[in-house]
């Protein structure tokens, strides 16, 4: 789990720098920076989706995953975790500050845990101790957390809780996962992750439409499962 620890450190450092310098920036600049991050996340998500070799698998994964996510109340669970962390560690004195904390926590948690580098890097780190891929991801996440924290606040830093559980869990299960996940499964998982990132950009960053993005997280498992099922019927 060396790579995950490095990732957590870079997120915390980036968040600290973002909060330190963010207070000195005018609101107009913060809003523009957030919009820029939203546009970048949107483009990255689209690029990830375009890697799909079968769009219907992505659609099926999203629909089934959304149904499971709503059934399991994943969005509410993430929001509840963010709210508890804010109540314990936050300094917000009003509802607006609390909402900002939760928004920063949810946005950063989803962004830092979605993508092929997270899955492949965690498996690689767990199997061989090679954390090179996660080290690259850590640098990217560090800069992203700096930008996010300057506009969304301390909630971004607490995304390390989700990163620890998610990436660390994958590393611990790496032996089982590496023998099961195939390239086609990874491709469709990446494509689903791209769609989720598009939703994240539209909902939390660009604030065009409120989307319960957390409810789509099961799709990251459902899509590769569909690929596996289809592989049984050549």
Span 48-91, pLDDT tens digits: 899 999 999 999 999 999 999 999 998 888 888 888 887 777 65
Residue 179 lies in a domain: yes
Domain assignment present for 132: yes
What is the pLDDT averaged over residues 138-161? 89
C-alpha 15/C-alpha 17 separation (Å) is: 5
Average pLDDT over residues 221-228: 94
Question: Mean pLDDT score of the chain, rounded to an integer?
Answer: 87
Q: Assess if residue 234 is contained within a domain.
A: no
pLDDT score recorded for residue 71 = 96
Indicate whether 90 belongs to any domain: yes
Cβ density class 48-65: b for 16+ within 10 Å, e for less: bbeebebeebbebbbebb
User: Which pLDDT tens digit goes with each residue over 99-125?
Assistant: 888 889 998 998 898 776 788 789 888
213 domain-assigned: yes
Dist. CA 222–CA 212, nearest whole Å: 18
- Tell me, yes or no, whether 63 lies in a domain: yes
The number of folded domains in the chain is 1
Phi, psi dihedrals of residue 218, rounded to the nearest 5°: -60, -20
Q: Within a domain: residue 53?
A: yes
Residue 94 pLDDT? 65
Read off the pTM. Answer: 0.82
How many secondary structure helices (H) and strands (E) does the chain include?
Answer: 11, 0
Domain that holds residue 12: 2-229
Whether 200 is covered by a domain: the verdict is yes
**Burial of 224 by CB count in 10 Å (0-12 exposed, 13-18 middle, 19+ buried)?**
buried
Tokens 């494509």, residue located: 191
Neighbours of 97 (CB within 10 A): 16
Range 130-145 average pLDDT: 87
pLDDT band at 227 (very low <50, low <70, confident <90, very high): very high
């Amino acid at each position: 789990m060396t790579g995950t620890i490095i990732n957590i450190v870079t997120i915390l450092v980036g968040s600290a720098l973002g909060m330190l310098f963010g207070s000195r920036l005018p609101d107009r600049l913060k809003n523009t920076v957030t919009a820029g991050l939203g546009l970048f996340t949107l483009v990255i998500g689209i690029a990830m989706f375009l890697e799909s070799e079968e769009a219907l698998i992505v659609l099926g994964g999203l629909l089934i995953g959304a149904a499971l996510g709503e059934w399991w109340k994943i969005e509410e669970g993430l929001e509840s975790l963010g709210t508890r962390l804010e109540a314990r560690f936050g300094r917000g004195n009003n509802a607006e500050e609390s909402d900002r904390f939760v928004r920063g926590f949810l946005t950063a948690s989803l962004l830092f845990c979605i993508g092929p580098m997270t899955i492949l890097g965690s498996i690689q780190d767990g199997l061989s101790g090679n954390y090179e891929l996660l080290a690259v991801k850590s640098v990217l996440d560090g800069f992203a957390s700096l930008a996010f924290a300057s506009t969304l606040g301390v909630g971004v830093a607490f995304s390390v809780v989700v990163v620890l559980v998610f990436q660390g869990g994958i590393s611990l299960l790496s032996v089982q996962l590496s023998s099961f996940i195939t390239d086609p499964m990874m491709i469709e998982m990446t494509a689903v992750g791209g769609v989720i990132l598009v939703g994240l950009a539209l909902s939390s960053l660009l604030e065009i439409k409120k989307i319960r993005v957390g409810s789509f997280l099961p799709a990251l498992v459902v899509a590769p499962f569909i690929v596996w099922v289809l592989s049984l019927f050549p």
